[in-house]
């Protein structure tokens, strides 16, 4: 192919995936070579502490279509993806996980579907193999809730496995937020978006990098970036609790004049504690937003590249 434009970039974040990276590389090459297009694969080493980086460097030497970005430390899944999207040069950019859960075999279908007139085609999981019941259950609850409380349609049952047109990338890299929730940002951007169903597979090897703590933080990023629902809830519960407190005051006044004053002590204690709790909750929610605003105001670079073999002027 003489034409030098890259039709497709495949972006893969890698964090301690030494046992998966070669297998994934082979599956990717098999699937991409049959497509008869110019492509590049961009591996992002997100501060791995195992042999992921040397393996990637070795593969990149053998295969000129393999590009890598070595980040200076672990920046997390979303920022690793973001680094890949920003530096990818293809007309279409596909994002997938590096553990084999997102099958490279469906890339040709995703690409064809996108070419038929969609700026975004996300891969929607039909079933999830090898994940704990609790993970599937929490994911389900989270995506359904997020869909209810946000005003934009963030597709349910999708991860970041999707193909986007360069137009989307150009807008995405201009969105400055530090706490990225890329699937939400892409949904927010709009244009023609559709999906393709696939079966999510088991990790080829290794453990998930997401503890429930990390998932919780990620869920909060998703909610706080796209919804003010928690703030509204704080206000509403504030009203409800004040209403109840007002009734309690009338009740204790009634007790004072027509009953025994001492009996009011317990209910006063309870209501004070209850109010205190609600106030703390409200302050906590405000803090979540203010903390994120603070991070955005800092305007730091999203990630730092230690080394890469991507040259823009090639």
Q: Identify what 209 binds: Mg ion, ligand UDP, none; CB under 5 to 8 Å per kind.
A: ligand UDP
Give me the numbers of helices (H) and strands (E) for the chain, helices first please.
10, 8
Could you tell me which of 104, 238, 116 has the C-alpha nearest to residue 165? 116
User: Which of ligand UDP, Mg ion, none does residue 15 bind (CB under 5 to 8 Å by kind)?
Assistant: ligand UDP
Instruction: List, in sequence order, every residue forming a beta bridge with 308; answer none if it has no partner.
Output: 69
**List of residues contacting ligand UDP (CB under 6 A):** 13-15, 17, 46, 74, 76-77, 80, 97-99, 101, 203, 208-210
**Minimum distance from residue 203 beta carbon to Mg ion (Å):** 5
Nearer to ligand UDP, 7 or 302 (CB): 302
- Specify the pairing of strand 66-71 against strand 305-308: antiparallel
Under the binding rule (CB under 5 A), the answer on residue 101 touching Mg ion is: yes
d(CA 53, CA 68): 9
Residue 50, token pair as written in the block: 């195992």
Structure tokens at 215: 């998932």
Measured from the CB of residue 39, what is the shortest distance to ligand UDP in angstroms? 19
The option from ligand UDP, Mg ion, none interacting with 184 (CB < 5 to 8 A, set by class) reads: none
* Residues 271 and 245: beta-carbon distance below 8 Å: yes
* Closer residue to ligand UDP, CB minimum distance, 210 or 246: 210
Q: Among 17, 40, 46, 99, indicate the residue that binds Mg ion (CB under 5 A).
A: 99
CB of 125 to Mg ion, least distance (A): 11
Least distance CB 101 / Mg ion (angstroms): 4
Give the closest residue to 292 by CA, choosing from 233, 236, 227, 238: 227
Q: Give, for 125, the enclosing helix (H) or strand (E).
A: strand 120-128
Q: 158 or 228: whose CB is closer to ligand UDP?
A: 158
Contact residues: Mg ion, CB under 5 A: 99, 101
């Amino acid at each position: 192919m003489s034409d030098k434009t890259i039709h497709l970039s495949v972006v893969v974040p890698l964090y301690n995936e030494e046992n998966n990276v070669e297998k994934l590389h082979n599956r990717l090459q098999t699937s991409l070579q049959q497509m008869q297009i110019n492509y590049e694969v961009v591996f992002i080493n997100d501060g791995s502490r195992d042999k992921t980086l040397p393996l990637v460097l070795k593969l990149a030497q053998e295969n000129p279509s393999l590009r890598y970005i070595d980040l200076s430390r672990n920046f997390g899944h979303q920022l690793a993806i973001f680094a890949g999207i920003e530096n990818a040069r293809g007309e279409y950019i596909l994002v997938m996980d590096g553990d084999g859960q997102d099958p490279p075999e469906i890339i040709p279908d995703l690409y064809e579907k996108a070419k038929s007139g969609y700026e975004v085609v996300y891969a929607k999981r039909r079933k999830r193999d090898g994940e704990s019941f609790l993970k599937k259950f929490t994911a389900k609850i989270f995506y359904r809730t997020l869909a209810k409380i946000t005003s934009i349609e963030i597709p349910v049952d999708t991860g970041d496995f999707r193909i986007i047109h360069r137009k989307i990338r150009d807008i995405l890299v201009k969105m400055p937020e530090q706490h990225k929730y890329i699937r939400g940002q892409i949904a927010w951007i709009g244009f023609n978006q559709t999906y393709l169903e696939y079966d999510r597979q088991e990790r080829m090897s290794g453990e998930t990098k997401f503890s429930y703590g990390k998932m919780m933080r990620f869920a909060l990023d998703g909610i706080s970036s796209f919804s003010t629902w928690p703030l509204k809830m704080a206000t509403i519960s504030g009203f409800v609790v004040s209403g109840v407190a007002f009734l309690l005051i009338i009740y204790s006044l009634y007790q004072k004049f027509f009953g025994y004053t001492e009996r009011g002590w317990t209910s006063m204690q309870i209501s004070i504690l209850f109010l205190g709790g609600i106030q703390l909750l409200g302050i906590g929610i405000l803090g979540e937003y203010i903390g994120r605003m603070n991070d955005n105001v800092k305007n730091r670079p999203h990630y730092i590249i230690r080394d890469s073999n991507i040259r823009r002027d090639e």
